[in-house]
Amino acid sequence: MGTVFHVDVVSAEEQIYSGAAEFLVAPGEVGELGIYPHHTPLLTRIKPGSVRIKVPLQDEEELVFVSGGILEVQPDVVTILADTAVRGADLDEAKALEAKRRAEEAMKDQTSKIDYARAQAELAEAIAQLQAIQKLRKTRR
């Protein structure tokens, strides 16, 4: 298994991806993380965004949107425990645009700091989903 490693992407609802990968890119809290086989062990939080998985013998990368969670790297296994996760093909642009609009409205009509922080988090997630949809469109051209 020298040139690949095993990846599991799971959420509270279901297992989204389980299989081999040549590399993986995930949205770390301070920037994108690139993971290759035999990476140094690592445990970190991830923010909303796209996880890209290069599957062996497949031209297109697998794309999974995560709303945040934990990334664990071991030499031959990478596990992503996502708060929520959606396969790239299952992302709904209309829903993401509506969520973005609602979050922006909530930020304008804030009644407390907690409401504002919640609206900010929802806005960040909606924007990350829209970016994932755009990435998916570019790779399918």
pLDDT digits (tens, 9 = 90+) for 54-108: 999 998 888 888 888 999 999 899 999 998 888 766 656 667 667 667 777 776 6
Are residue 79 and residue 16 in the same domain, yes or no? yes
What is the predicted pLDDT for the residue at 40? 93
Are residue 131 and residue 96 in the same domain, yes or no? yes
What is the predicted pLDDT for the residue at 1? 44
Total domains in the chain come to: 2
Q: Using the predicted structure, report yes or no on whether residue 141 has a pLDDT greater than 60.
A: no
For the chain, the first-to-last Cα distance in angstroms comes to 32
Indicate the pLDDT class of residue 128, thresholds 50, 70 and 90: confident
Are residue 78 and residue 29 in the same domain, yes or no? yes
Are residue 82 and residue 44 in the same domain, yes or no? yes
Are residue 102 and residue 39 in the same domain, yes or no? no
Q: Tokens representing 47?
A: 């923010």
Residues 6+ apart with CB under 8 A from 105: none
CA angle 65, 55, 62 (to 5 degrees): 20
Residue 73's CATH number: 2.60.15.10
- pTM score of the predicted model: 0.68
Q: Is 102 helix (H, G, I), strand (E, B) or coil?
A: helix
Q: At what angle do helices 113-139 and 93-108 cross, to 10 degrees?
A: 150
Are residue 82 and residue 99 in the same domain, yes or no? no
**β-pairing, 42-46 with 31-35?**
unpaired
Are residue 116 and residue 83 in the same domain, yes or no? no
Q: Using the predicted structure, report yes or no on whether residue 36 has a pLDDT greater than 90.
A: yes
Are residue 84 and residue 30 in the same domain, yes or no? yes
Are residue 65 and residue 115 in the same domain, yes or no? no
Q: Using the predicted structure, report yes or no on whether residue 121 has a pLDDT greater than 90.
A: no
